[in-house]
Amino acid sequence: MQEDVRPLITDRALEVQRAYMRSVRKANYRPQSYYIVTLGCQMNVRDSETLAGMLEEMGYQRAASREQADLILYNTCCVRENAENRALGNVIWLKELKKLKPRLLICVGGCMMQEKGMAETLKRQYPFIDLIFGTHNLHRFPELLFRVIHEEKQVCEVLDSEGGVAEGLPVRRTSPHMAFINIMYGCNNFCSYCIVPYVRGRERSREPQRILEEARQLRDAGVQEIMLLGQNVNSYGGGGDAFARLLTELDKVGIPRIRFMTSHPKDLSDQLIDCFGRLEHLTGQLHLPVQSGSNRILELMNRRYTREKYLGLVEKLRQVRPDVGLTSDIIVGFPGETQADFQDTLSLVEQARFDAAFTFIFSPRHQGGLHGRRYPHGREDPAHPAPHRPAAEPDPTGFGKPGGLPPAGAGGGGVHPGRGLRVRQDPAGPYGQFPGKYFPHRQLRGGGHPVRRPQYPAGTALPKLMAGCPARHAGSEGTGPNA
């Protein structure tokens, strides 16, 4: 077993939760229904599958809509501002619904509740919410729900520390063909713009045997594709070659397609790159967030790699697997970013020849009020000092601050907040590799499935495309779980 594999939450503790599930099932005097709204990344989608599994064990059935449900659960996200605003907006809407249905149970969980002061604020300002819980005590959901039902008063429990890994919780998968498998939780990296280590805790990995067991069960159930999830899967089991070894074992299970996300470039080992050349079932697609092409900005972001290192990884990958589909995340307008830094990003994009990129405008958050927090988060933790953050000096062109425009000549276009760009290629290509088409954001709305009408010819230079189209604010959902 690897060094950083966390102890399991004990069988005894889980048996207590199973007993609560049975009690809730008995307590419900008639069949009850539930509806879960999931905001954020695939980690949250997977958590919602566990919550749905527990609810079904407790006798709840999935409702077709929120309006029809007896219990509505919001699994929130705080990584992107838009998801957070949506969650708060929806909670207020629920107040009206509860006036019409007084016995409606409203539960709110997820990353947003782990933010400092957020749960207390919600508890105070929205007394109609029945249950508030965080990500670290998700396995205690049956007990908390039992208390809501029996005590008939608001219950709020959010734990500060992450504790162990819960195995064997019931799960209600959303697809019979494709399944998410969590291999690790949390992150140790403290990128200066990211809140994840604060709300998801430090890294803890599942035991490889448990992951393999889950994969075999999925294979036997006919699942055709698994997606391994973690905020930074490359540091699974403490890093080194642990993730490559896990992939090698999973490849033998025989599920036709294996994917993973998300990968931090600093932890992309040679052994992992090698997997792309030798493993039969690993799809030839890698999401490798670069965030910026400027070494100065990468340092301010606390990313701990350089553009040269990143481009070197891309080259190695293409040597091992020339047809690899490479996607990335990019943040523009990071505090202190200059036109020269932006040009560095454009030139990196040109050299890396990404098949797709999710582009974000840096999104500063509220300095007080309801949110009461500051970014970058790393500065608030003395144990993990973040790099110096320069004052956000307004560029005369407006570029470098949220809502500003890139300079004329940086591709001839503009960064238009609110209109959003998702440069993306067709994920329905063979083995998940993208064939080289770009879609404007508008075509991706309505479920996120791209309309197959490329707006630009394949091979269009991405820098031109990036700068010529509106970038989207960090705020939309749908990308991978960080890194």
Q: Which residue has the tokens 């007896």?
A: 70
Nearest to ligand SF4 of 187, 330 (CB atom): 187
| Cα–Cα distance for residue pair 376/100, rounded to 1 Å | 42
- The one-letter code for the residue type at 378 is G
Kindly indicate which of the ranges 19-27, 109-117, 188-196, 241-249 contains the residues binding ligand SF4, using the contact rule CB under 6 A.
188-196
Q: List the one residue from 264, 401, 424, 473 that touches ligand SF4 (CB under 6 A).
A: 264
Q: List the one residue from 75, 135, 205, 482 that touches ligand SF4 (CB under 6 A).
A: 482
Residue 35 interacts with ligand SF4 (CB under 6 A)? no
What secondary structure does DSSP assign to 290-327, as a single string? Answer: -B-S-HHHHHHTT----HHHHHHHHHHHHHH-TT-EEE
Q: Which two tokens stand for residue 194?
A: 């990211």
Q: List the one residue from 187, 255, 300, 314 that touches ligand SF4 (CB under 6 A).
A: 187
CB of 186 to ligand SF4, least distance (A): 9
CB of 387 to ligand SF4, least distance (A): 13
Q: How far apart are the first and last CA of the chain?
A: 24
Report the DSSP pairing between strands 225-229 and 204-205: unpaired
Residue 197 interacts with ligand SF4 (CB under 6 A)? yes
CB of 188 to ligand SF4, least distance (A): 7
Q: Which two tokens stand for residue 148?
A: 């809501």
What is the Cβ-side half-sphere exposure of residue 473, based on CA atoms within 13 angstroms?
Answer: 17
Kindly indicate which of the ranges 119-127, 160-168, 182-190, 384-392 contains the residues binding ligand SF4, using the contact rule CB under 6 A.
182-190
CB of 291 to ligand SF4, least distance (A): 8
CB of 429 to ligand SF4, least distance (A): 26
Sheet of strand 325-332: strand arrangement: 285-287, 325-332, 356-361, 472-473
Residue 231 interacts with ligand SF4 (CB under 6 A)? yes
Q: C-alpha distances in angstroms, 331 versus 2, 253, 262, 291, 417?
A: 34, 37, 16, 5, 13
Q: List the one residue from 133, 190, 354, 360 that touches ligand SF4 (CB under 6 A).
A: 190
CB of 481 to ligand SF4, least distance (A): 7
For residue 117, give the 3-state DSSP assignment: coil
Question: Site size for ligand SF4, by CB under 6 A?
Answer: 12
Kindly indicate which of the ranges 157-165, 185-193, 247-255, 442-450 contains the residues binding ligand SF4, using the contact rule CB under 6 A.
185-193
Closest CA to 305 of 290, 317, 320, 318: 290
Kindly indicate which of the ranges 194-202, 249-257, 341-349, 365-373 contains the residues binding ligand SF4, using the contact rule CB under 6 A.
194-202
| Cα–Cα distance for residue pair 232/184, rounded to 1 Å | 8
> Which residues contribute to the site for ligand SF4 (CB under 6 A)?
187, 189-191, 194, 196-197, 231-232, 264, 482-483
